[in-house]
Structure 1
Amino acid sequence: MRPSNPSTSSELGPRWADDTGSAALEFITVGVLLLVPLVYLVLTLGAVQEQTLGAEAAARHTARVIGQAPDADTAAARGDGVLQSVIREYGMDADAVDVSIRCRPSGAACPTAGSTVIVTVTTRVSLPFMPPLFGLDRIAAIPVQAESAQKTSRLWGSG
Structure 2
Amino acid sequence: MRSRTGATPGAGWIRDDAGNAIVEFLAVTVLLLIPILYLVLLLGRLQAATFAADGAAAEAGRAYAQASTPDLGSARAVAAVAIALRDQGFDDVEPATSLVLDCSSVPCLQPGSDVSATVQFSVQLPFVPSFVRSVVPLEVPVRGDSVAAVDQFRGH
Q: TM-score range by the shorter chain?
A: 0.7 to 0.9
Structure 1 residue ranges without an equivalent (≥5): 1-8
Partner of 1:3: none
The structure with more helix, counted as a fraction of residues? 1
1:101 aligns with 2:105: no
Aligned equivalents of 2:11 and 2:124: distance in 1? 55
Confirm or deny that 1:72 pairs with 2:70: yes
Deviation of the 1:150 alpha carbon: 0.7
Instruction: Tell me whether 1:91 sits opposite 2:89 in the alignment.
Output: yes
Runs of 5+ unmatched residues, structure 2 = 1-7
Deviations 1:7-41 (A, max 9, x none): xx942997x83234424432332133211101110
Which among 22, 26, 29 is matched to residue 28 of structure 1?
Answer: 26
- Which residue is 1:126 aligned to? 124
Deviation at 1:153, TM superposition (A): 1.5
Q: Which amino acid aligns with 1:28?
A: L
8 Å CA contact retained: 1:98, 1:121: yes
Q: Which residue of 1 aligns with 2:10?
A: 11
Task: Give, as a single letter, the amino acid of the residue that structure 2 aligns with 1:86.
Answer: A
C-alpha distance after superposition, 1:72-130 (max 9, x if no partner): 232122112212222322222324852111123xx333333211111011111111113
Q: 1:11 and 1:119 mapped to 2: Cα distance?
A: 79
C-alpha spacing 1:27/1:139, structure 2 compared with 1 (3 Å): closer
On the 8 A contact 1:10/1:17 being kept in 2, the answer is: no
Name the residue aligned to 1:154: 152
Pairwise CA RMSD: 3.0
Letter in 2 for 1:112: Q
Aligned partner of 1:31: which letter?
Answer: T
Size of the alignment, in residue pairs? 145
TM-score (norm 1): 0.75
CA contact (8 A) 1:62 1:83 kept: yes
Determine the structure 1 residue equivalent to 2:3. Answer: none
Identity within the alignment, %: 34
Match of 1:42? 40
Partner of 1:4: none
> Which 4+ stretches in 1 moved above 6 angstroms?
none
Does the 8 Å CA contact 2:78/2:99 hold for their aligned counterparts? no
